[in-house]
Structure 1
Amino acid sequence: MRKVYIYKKFERFWHWTQAALIFFLAVTGFEVHDSFSLFGFENAVMYHRIASYLLLGLIAFSIFWHFTTGEWKQYVPTISKLKAQVHYYTVGMFKGEHHPTIKSPRKKLNPLQAMVYLGFKLVMAPIVILSGLLYMYYKTFDANDTIIISDIPLDIIAWAHTLGAFLLLSFIIVHVYMTTTGHTPTSNIKGMLTGWEMLEDEDEQNKEEISVEKDEKKRIK
């Protein structure tokens, strides 16, 4: 095993700030829905709007960072070892089987993670953002008789925004659980806090891949 610097400073800042903003948006959003009382309705609306602007700004910076650094390639989906990865998470890791993929600075995500995170960026986040903006500026669109937008019932937009919020919360809950599936239950969290993780060296990786292939052959038989 060797200690590798795998998560850059902005990557860690973006990750934790995004998580904090999503949680805060969830709290204020559910208060707006009258699920509980914490800040008060008017304050909850104001805080929710401010947090949404901050999240939009963070997303804009993260998109710029991903494309200028080439980190967007981490999210390119592949079906290679996808089946093995699903098997590992659902059955294999509970039997002590070897992980089918090896993490590295150039390959931080396994095939399943890449596919799920891409779905988060292209489906879940856009649903929440677009529906939130439409809901926030609905009166403006309606007053200006904006084509199509003004014809969408407000309750449909609110429903779509709530659906997106639940999808995001589900994603975060699963994401938090998956952080416990590293070499130790806290190794992935420590890695995202410090940027450093303990990864296998090349010889260990080769041995690991051979072990994974043997496990896969046994499972097929």
Structure 2
Amino acid sequence: MGGEKVKSIYLYTRFERFWHWAQALLIGGLLWTGFAVHGDLPWPDFHTAVIWHNRLGITWLILFAFILFWEATTGEWRHYVPTTRKLFAVGRYYLVGIFRGEPHPVAKTAEAKHNPLQRLTYLGVAVAIVPVQVVTGLLYWTYNDWHLLGFSMNLGVLAFLHVAGAFLFLMFLVIHVYMITTGHTPFAHLKAMVTGWEEVHGPDKPPH
């Protein structure tokens, strides 16, 4: 791009990178063991899958609590505040502009790590999919104690909601992996989440 050069900015802290990759492993493990519980995968066996699904679920829930605490105390939550500014421009970019070699309409900065579409997506996952999975997962886990709590629910409905949430998570992961490849090189975003340094395009000289 004329008049611009690639420069590196430090965007992702060590803890941010840690919880990103830890979540990826835990969610991947939850999806694998969850589908194994339903008999959709040949390994592990049902009993082993249930044990590990529960362990991974509790581990992820603890990690997520730490993430929320970190986001709240460091001010990182501001990167997830939704905005419609340039939202349609970003949507058009991913539908059309990216295939024409056009520049991204919203550059990453230390003050705004995520574009409007990312903000809405991540917020949607956090306030919609995650609560559904947590609540239905905990209900599944305590199923044998429902009578002690005076709670009753159709197990088929609970199963449907939990599996539906799992498929939404799977869709998110597939799209997320694809989006990783849409940087100025196919591995630029992946490298950034390993090193913390994101390569962005900026002007050769500061604007007057």
Normalising by structure 2, what TM-score? 0.93
- Measured in 1, the distance between the counterparts of 2:53 and 2:97 equals 41
Match of 1:104 in 2: 109
3-state SS, counterpart of residue 151 of structure 1: coil
Task: Work out whether residues 17 and 194 of structure 2, in 8 Å CA contact, stay in contact via their aligned partners in 1.
Answer: yes
Task: Work out whether residues 79 and 111 of structure 1, in 8 Å CA contact, stay in contact via their aligned partners in 2.
Answer: yes
3-state SS, counterpart of residue 185 of structure 1: coil
Code of the aligned partner of 1:153: N
Question: Does 2:77 match 1:72?
Answer: yes
Alignment coverage as a number of residue pairs: 202
Code of the aligned partner of 1:159: F
Question: Does 2:39 match 1:39?
Answer: no
Alignment of 1:208-219 (within 5 A): none
- Measured in 1, the distance between the counterparts of 2:149 and 2:43 equals 35
Unaligned 5+ runs, structure 2: 1-5
Alignment of 1:156-175 (within 5 A): 156-175=157-176
Match of 1:219 in 2: none
3-state SS, counterpart of residue 109 of structure 2: coil
Residues 113 and 4 from structure 1, CA distance in 2 versus in 1: closer, same or farther, beyond 3 angstroms? same
Code of the aligned partner of 1:196: W
Question: Does 2:119 match 1:114?
Answer: yes
Match of 1:200 in 2: 201
Code of the aligned partner of 2:61: L
Question: Does 2:3 match 1:2?
Answer: no
Match of 2:31 in 1: 26
Q: Which has the higher contact order (CA 8 A, sep 6+)?
A: 2
1:201 is displaced (CA, Å) by 3.6
1:152 is displaced (CA, Å) by 1.7
Residues 17 and 204 from structure 1, CA distance in 2 versus in 1: closer, same or farther, beyond 3 angstroms? farther
1:134-185: per-residue Cα shift (whole Å, max 9, x none)?
111122123331xxxx232111111100000000000010000001111111
1:97 is displaced (CA, Å) by 1.5
3-state SS, counterpart of residue 181 of structure 2: helix
- Measured in 2, the distance between the counterparts of 1:135 and 1:205 equals 57
Task: Work out whether residues 80 and 120 of structure 2, in 8 Å CA contact, stay in contact via their aligned partners in 1.
Answer: yes
3-state SS, counterpart of residue 41 of structure 2: coil
Match of 2:148 in 1: 143
Q: Percent identity?
A: 45
Task: Work out whether residues 102 and 205 of structure 1, in 8 Å CA contact, stay in contact via their aligned partners in 2.
Answer: no
- Measured in 2, the distance between the counterparts of 1:198 and 1:127 equals 36
Match of 2:128 in 1: 123
Question: Does 2:56 match 1:54?
Answer: no
Code of the aligned partner of 1:13: F
